[in-house]
Chain A
Amino acid sequence: MALTDASRPALRRHGDPRQVRRNTLIGWSFILPNFLGFAALTLLPVVAALGLSFMKWNSYSDPEWVGLANFERMLGNETFWVALKNTTYYAAGHIPLTMAAALGLAILLNEKLRGVGFFRTALFFPYITSLVAVAVVWNMLFNPTAGPVNLLLEALGVADPPGWTTSSDWAMPAVIITSVWRDMGYYMVIYLAGLQAIPPEYYEAAQVDGANAWQRFRNVTLPCLRPTTFLVLVMVTVGSFKVFDLIVVMTDGGPGRATTVLSQLIYREGIREGRFGYASAISLVLFLIVLTVTVLQFKVQERRER
């Protein structure tokens, strides 16, 4: 097979232009089926969203360039600020609680014990349970008068337990608890993989040096887990800011506007009301927030590495 023999070193060196062209063709032929769909339905919309946010366009009119008008309108709209505040509130609760729960569970599961596989399976299961079922069950558990959560609180001596999803002060905490319960198993698996990649020799060395358990956790586990923690942090953050379905099904943004979040606003304005330009402006803000937070986290991570 003279031809394939000749092609072999070329794959490494990219020397011969004919070989490069051939590889390019082969490479693209693999990627193309997926790329067509990806380009038309993901890449193009991402770019279009950017342009649309500077246009006025709805179902009845033609697109028209309006500069920053959408953003001005957005900043003057009170609902936008409420949604921004609620999204931040959700993220501020969801991110640390999910990460702490996931890390705690992963540390327990990292013990060499019998039956760990069962616990891991059970703790992971909420993550893949359908969201509607999750929301419906938790709504019932949080029932203010006869739900198990409040019955438990009363039994523990809480005289006036919260109204959860019926109260504008407690609806967001209820959503956060539900989402932490659902998501922690997923990040627990990632943490567990990170923990298992730490060489046992590190712990042995620390022990020989007389480090106690807390010192080993602080000086071995946490530093070795830093890349994992960083990855989890970015993933949880992106997930938090785009929260949507759980809130739609559990509270639909209510009571009042107590749990209305940004992505819900995008859906209402863009798809239900057909204000494409205005909705895209809100999307751009959502995207910029996620981007800024992610870049900030990257910077902090970089500085720590040094």
Chain B
Amino acid sequence: MSTTLPGRLREAGELPAPLPVTPPPASARSRALRSRVRSALVHALLAGLTLAVLVPFVWMVSSSLKHDNQVFSVPVQWVPTEFVWSNYADIWTRIPMLTYLRNSLFLAVTITFLQVLTGSFAAYGFAKVRFPGRDVLFLAYIATIAVPWQAYMVPQYILMQKAGLTNTFTSLILLQAFGAFGVFLMRQYYMTIPDELCEAARIDGLSEYGIWARIVLPLSRPALASLALLTFVHTWNDYMGPFIYLTSNELWTVQLGLRSFVGLYDAEYAMIMTGSVISVLPILLVFLLGQRYFIQGIATAGMKG
């Protein structure tokens, strides 16, 4: 790839590069041709790479519509000969999928709501109110983002055990709703809102809480959306938290339920893939609705870190 990439980049030509040997009209035409060939090449390359990246999803969906013994056919059958839709009807009785989905949804929504609320509230204190000790405190927040969670999961677990909260949703909600990431992301965004705007509101007699609620919050809608979507997806997909804290089957999330199904019936390939598809669908939906905000959120958190 590295040998062809410079070649293609050379033909980039944002500015017409004067070629001394070729006469002007011919070079203009060949440049137009070259730039078209070039974008066709990049297109083809991107399409190929994207297809390769999406192959696992194709396999997942295609296998979920097969019988178990057709999943590993040689050669690979990308389109099932017979569509076994019944997999999607049977899974609800094979495992308590509905309960799992409900648990995941409850956790994801509650945690997202609390994280966005407390995160954006705290971020205002860090971004728009000046007081001694503020920056040291913010540093403590940032520092913990860099500490791997595994390094303090044992004390957290002891704390929850002593409080009698293991095997409850409360433990997970408490652990994940007050993360430093939300504060960080929102603060980065608030810093881009001009202070003059808040000053003007102060002159008009708004309290700081009023400024937060009526000026800053409405202006930060894109950042709120980013944080909400990232938190939702993160909680929905979380495996380790529920794995450590939730032991009773009726509290399990989709991820735990799917994993346990795989462990128990590892030869039911088609049904496993059906479960996988169902576990991914809500995320796909959320992602397609708000993908702009995902990308923006990651770019914001990244660029100013």
Interface residues of chain A, those whose CB is within 8 Å of chain B, are: 1, 4-5, 7-8, 11-12, 14, 20, 23-24, 26-38, 40-46, 48-49, 52, 104-105, 107-109, 111, 113, 115-116, 119-126, 128-134, 136-138, 140-141, 143, 145-148, 151, 181, 185-186, 189-190, 192-194, 197, 200, 203-204, 207-208, 212-214, 216-217, 228, 231-232, 235, 238, 241-242, 244-245, 248-249, 262-263, 266-267, 270-271, 276, 279-280, 283-284, 286-287, 290, 294
Partner of B74 from A26, A29, A129, A146 at Cβ < 8 Å: A146
Within 8 A of A (CB), among B121-142: 121-122, 124-126, 129-134, 137, 140-141
Say whether A128 contacts B14, CB under 8 Å. Answer: no
Known contacts A113-B39, A208-B15; is-contact A123 B53 (Cβ 8 Å): yes
Known contacts A140-B59, A151-B74; is-contact A130 B9 (Cβ 8 Å): no
Partner of A204 from B10, B15, B199, B262 at Cβ < 8 Å: B15
Give chain B residues whose Cβ lies under 8 Å from the Cβ of A45: 152-153, 155-156, 159
Say whether B9 contacts A270, CB under 8 Å. Answer: no
Say whether B202 contacts A266, CB under 8 Å. Answer: no
Say whether B150 contacts A266, CB under 8 Å. Answer: yes
Please, which residue of chain A has its CB at the minimum distance from the CB of B198? A11
Within 8 A of A (CB), among B184-208: 199, 202-205, 208
Please, which residue of chain A has its CB at the minimum distance from the CB of B10? A213
Within 8 A of A (CB), among B163-196: 174-175, 177-180, 182-183
Say whether A249 contacts B49, CB under 8 Å. Answer: no
- Report Cα–Cα, A208/B202, bound state, in Å: 52
Say whether B121 contacts A30, CB under 8 Å. Answer: yes
Q: How many residues of B contact A (CB 8 A)?
A: 113
Say whether A33 contacts B130, CB under 8 Å. Answer: no
Please, which residue of chain B has its CB at the minimum distance from the CB of A104? B1
Please, which residue of chain A has its CB at the minimum distance from the CB of B38? A111
- Report Cα–Cα, A4/B199, bound state, in Å: 10
Say whether A137 contacts B59, CB under 8 Å. Answer: yes
The answer to whether the Cβ of B255 comes within 8 Å of any Cβ in the partner chain is yes
Say whether A267 contacts B150, CB under 8 Å. Answer: yes
Output the least CB separation between B288 and chain A (Å).
Answer: 8
- Report Cα–Cα, A238/B152, bound state, in Å: 15
